[in-house]
Amino acid sequence: MKSYILKYSFVFLSVLALSISFDLKIKFDDIKDYLTNLLVVSTMVFTLMAIWIAYLYPEALDKIKDQESNVEHVDFTEAQAKLKRLEFIVASVFKSAIVAILILGIFLVKAIVGSTIILASTIPFFVTIAPSVLIVTFFLQCEAIYSVIKANIIFINELHGRKEKVEEEDDI
């Protein structure tokens, strides 16, 4: 977790330094559609990963309980593999949640402060950090999408492995 925070802090600060040195100015109207699409993608990741969590969580718990009750033969490798995948999936939901919260926060600030005098004094701050926020949310969401893809590939590989195992047992 610390490595992710350090990595994204580095990306944020690097993009911030570049945007200050190149004097990048991003307006809300320029990024509104992008933010909306990013929010939709976050929702997609939530939905897909919630299905995976609903599938894996009870199965992982059942494997652990079954193996704990059978003290003579305790092999947690399969349960550990399920738990590892579950942690991976929950992390992607966490990343999408951060992206969604950031985007909703941006929309909230724009809605509340959008036409007030406070905005006029804070525009330089928001314009300066906008590129950093956009890049960090982009990378966070890309990692979450990658997690969706990886979870599905692992699942397909497991299905093929189980199918081959059943075919081998049928041949014997």
For residue range 149-160, list pLDDT tens digits in order: 888 888 888 888
> Average pLDDT over the chain, rounded to whole?
81
> 92, 143 in Cβ contact below 8 A?
yes
For residue 78, the model assigns a pLDDT of: 63
**How high is the pLDDT of residue 74?**
46
User: How many domains are contained in the chain?
Assistant: 1
- Provide the pLDDT confidence category of residue 27 given band limits of 50, 70 and 90: confident
pLDDT band at 132 (very low <50, low <70, confident <90, very high): very high
pLDDT at 126 over 90: no
Residue-wise pLDDT tens digits, 48-84: 888 877 877 776 666 666 665 654 554 556 666 667 7
What is residue 13's predicted lDDT score, i.e. its pLDDT?
Answer: 93
Contact between 131 and 14 (Cβ < 8 Å) = no
Which class for 170: exposed (0-12), middle (13-18), buried (19 or more C-beta within 10 A)? Answer: exposed
For the cut 70, the answer to whether the pLDDT of residue 18 exceeds it is yes
Sorted by sequence, the CB contacts under 8 Å of residue 139 that are 6+ apart come out as 8, 11
Q: What end-to-end distance do the CA atoms of the chain give, in Å?
A: 47
Provide the residue range defining the domain that includes 59.
2-23+32-171
